[in-house]
Structure 1
Amino acid sequence: MFGYPGGAILPLYDELKNHKKIKHILVRHEQGAGHAAEGYARSSGKPGVVLVTSGPGATNMVTALTDAYMDSIPLVCVTGQVPTHLIGTDAFQECDTTGITRPCTKHNWLVKNIKDLPIIMHKAFHIATSGRPGPVLVDIPKIPDSIRTKVRKLNAKLGNDKFYNLLIKLDPLVQNKIKKNDTHRLIRAYEVMIFTKKSLIDWQKKNKNYFSNYHFVKIYINPENNFLQKLLRLRLKKMFELGAIEEVKKFLKLKINSSLPANKILGIEEIKKYLNKKISLEQAFEETFIRTRRYVKRQRTWFRGHMKDWISIFNPNFDILTKKIENLVTSS
């Protein structure tokens, strides 16, 4: 096993001392660990194993994972992750490890329940070595999921109104910062307070402090709705004309598991219905356009809610728009 320790993976390193049969080789960089594991796999015929921490530890592994993927080298990479309840809060050294490594691994997992870990590890070695060999990744949060389960049950029992009142007694800082109907953030704030004894608001302030010595100009390019709809239709028309149908045909031949995110790409379901002769090509185009328009609407709603302090600008002339941005940046 090759690795480099860091905060989120330390509990696993602590356990290593109790397993004398596992030989750990300390490297000086995570990328080096990945390439060393590749070399071991090539020379021994056994899967190479890598142990790295969250965030930069995981991202430093991407080159080695991609190399192993292209060269069909069996590799099992175990990464630490921030505690379960902090995932999605931009916590220190957090990143979307499974999302980043999905294109360069045969399969990857984010362990959501500690009971699943033995099964996942067994699957990891099996997938890495079977068929065409390649790298897999197992992302392990620092703590078990017991706190999340407990908090979710409490929320389900009380309902959002009572749960919100309980939360603000526990953590007054979140009052008026989280809406009562935002179940996900209510639960997240409660989990963070229970486990860390610090408010989610404090954690967010801490993250912002890393950039306290920098001045940012926050600009939001906000096109008029009619202009945006026109561009959407033109772009979609070009996609259909330049091979979207053929791309979907190739995609469907891969027979990718229907639960994977790739199947949710805008246009796949609509073109699939066209290929199965359930709708016409014109209908497939219009249905794809409607889905795309809804997606854009959700995005714009999010922008309006979360980017209120950003400078909103737009001009259909690209040169004028670029000049506006330059003026805003230089004058601030």
Structure 2
Amino acid sequence: MSDLHPALARAEAFCTRYGLRLPILLAPMAGACPPSLSIAVAEAGGLGACGALLMPPPAILAWAAEMRAGSAGPFQLNLWIPDPAPVRDPDHEARLRTFLGTFGPAVPPEAGDATPPDFSAQCEALLEAAPPIVSSVMGLYPPAFVERLKARGIAWWANVSTVAEALAAEAAGADAVVAQGAEAGGHRGCFDAGRAEAEMVGTLALVPAVVDAVRIPVVATGGIAEARGAAAALLLGASAVQIGTGFLRCPEAKLAPAWAAALGRARPEDTRVARVFSGRAGRSLATAYVAAATAPEAPPPAPYPVQRGLTQAMRDAATRAGDVERMQAWAGQAAGFARAEPAGEVVADLWEGMRALLR
């Protein structure tokens, strides 16, 4: 990267710091980051990633081993900071089970008992896997864990959705912040789950505000899937771009075909933020299930992760049937730009387009 444009010079410095050839990062999407996708992105010069939310420690270590077997490129491992224990309401959950039974198999009462893997054990697995970068979402790692990361030379990136969160992350010792705009697919990294819908800051407004507020590098993410958006993010002050939905149609993502095809047809207005899959606010395709579950007469979703457990049978059945209208089809607002091409080609074309725009 010999270009003199300030945006490219800043990106070059970031890439040098983290062993990258290109400032293009795969987003750590829980459940949608097979090693094959990260290997392809890393081999093309970008950063691989794993959203490890639902993975027990052996699975985290296995993912990292497979990644390293396929590429010497860098990668990040990401964990959610745990939510407080949910408040349960058996009567309300019974109504939800009846409602969800109209979209899939009958939902047993114990389905709502779903719990994530043990967070402390996952943190130990991250230390054992020793990736170059560990990232957080939905809050900040405990100070003692941050100290252990830094003692082992592992960088910590904090996913943020507001300027206040970015300032808190910097004060807590984050090496970089990933500023996630409201256009992002799936769950956004809001520290306060209850304010997710109230603090829907778009990428175009969020990134420069965070850049001006903190002294550490800023990665832009949310609604970025092609060269114009990526170049714009660098012009706004970001040091790199992180892309999620834009990689989901690549064959290496191994996405359900119906979901991948629907992404290619989606316009920005064809997505919607709702809590009806997991109990946390997340942006998905505006499918028939989403429309029905957000209708005034539908029972409101249970808290996370109870809702995730209650919807599991429906989501599994939809995947088996290839029925995107009932799938948990996460999608950012730039989904229509996602290309059904090898991830390495997507990375190369993105970078070529970004360079041309920033000359």
The normalised TM-score by structure 1 is 0.27
The normalised TM-score by structure 2 is 0.25
Greater share of helix: 1
Q: Which has the higher contact order (CA 8 A, sep 6+)?
A: 2
Bigger Rg over Cα: 1
